[in-house]
A and B are shown apart, each in its own frame.
Chain A
Amino acid sequence: MAMAETFFSNLKCRECGALYPKKATHVCEFDFGPLEADYDYAKIRAAISREKIQARPLTMWRYRELLPIDGEPTVGLQTGFTPLVKAERLARALGARELYLKNDAVNYPTLSFKDRVVAVALTRARELGFNIVACASTGNLANSVAANAAAAGLESYVLIPYDLERSKVLNSLVYGAQVIGIEGPYDQVNRLCSEIAGKYGWGFVNVNLRPYYAEGSKTLGFEIIEQLDWRIPAHTVIPMASGSLLTKITKAYQEAVKVGLVNAAPFRIYGAQARGCNPITAAQQAGTDLIRPVPRPDTIAKSLAIGTPADGYYAVHAMRQTGGAAADATDAEIIEAIKLLAETEGIFAETAGGVTLACAKKLIDSGRIPRDERVVICITGNGLKTAEALDGQLTEPARIKPSLREFDALIVKNEPQRHGDAEKIKTV
Chain B
Amino acid sequence: MAIEVSIPTPLRGLTNNLDTVSAEGATVAALIDDLEKKYPGIKTRLVDDAGQLRRFVNIYVNGEDVRFLQAQATPLAADAEVSIVPAIAGG
Residues of A within 8 A of B (CB): 15, 26-34, 136, 186-187, 190-191, 193-194, 198, 204, 206-207, 210, 241-242, 244, 290, 292-293, 306, 308-310, 313
Whether A27 pairs with B89 at a CB distance below 8 angstroms is yes
- Complex contacts, B38 vs chain A, CB 8 Å: none
Known: A27-B86, A31-B45. Is A136-B54 also a contact (CB below 8 A)?
no
Q: A32-B86, A32-B87 are in contact. Are A292 and B68 (CB under 8 A)?
A: yes
What 6 pairs across the A-B complex have the smallest Cβ distances?
A: A242-B91, A32-B56, A32-B86, A190-B90, A310-B89, A31-B54
Nearest-CB residue, chain B, relative to A204: B90
B45 close to A309 (CB less than 8 A)? no
**Among B10, B55, B65, B67, which residue has its beta carbon within 8 angstroms of that of A33?**
B55
Q: Which residue of B lies closest to A141 (CB)?
A: B91
Residues of chain B with a CB closer than 8 A to A207's CB: 89-90
Cβ A193 vs Cβ B90 within 8 A: yes
Q: Smallest distance from the beta carbon of A262 to chain B beta carbons, Å? A: 30
Residues of chain B whose beta carbon lies under 8 Å from any beta carbon of chain A: 9-10, 45, 48, 54-57, 65, 67-68, 86-91
Using A31-B45, A290-B67 as known contacts, say yes or no to A313 and B91 having CB atoms under 8 A apart. Answer: no
Given contacts A26-B89, A27-B56, A34-B89, 11 further A-B contacts (CB under 8 A): A27-B89, A30-B45, A32-B54, A32-B86, A33-B54, A34-B56, A194-B89, A194-B90, A206-B90, A206-B91, A293-B65
- Which residue in chain A gives the minimum CB-CB distance to B67? A290
Contact A15 B56 (CB under 8 A): yes
**Contact B89 A136, beta carbon cutoff 8 Å:** no
Residues of the B chain whose Cβ atoms lie less than 8 Å from the Cβ of A198: 9
Contact B91 A244 (CB under 8 A): yes
- Which residues from A are CB-within-8-Å of B10? 29, 32
Q: What residues on A are CB-neighbors of B56 within 8 Å? A: 15, 27-28, 31-34
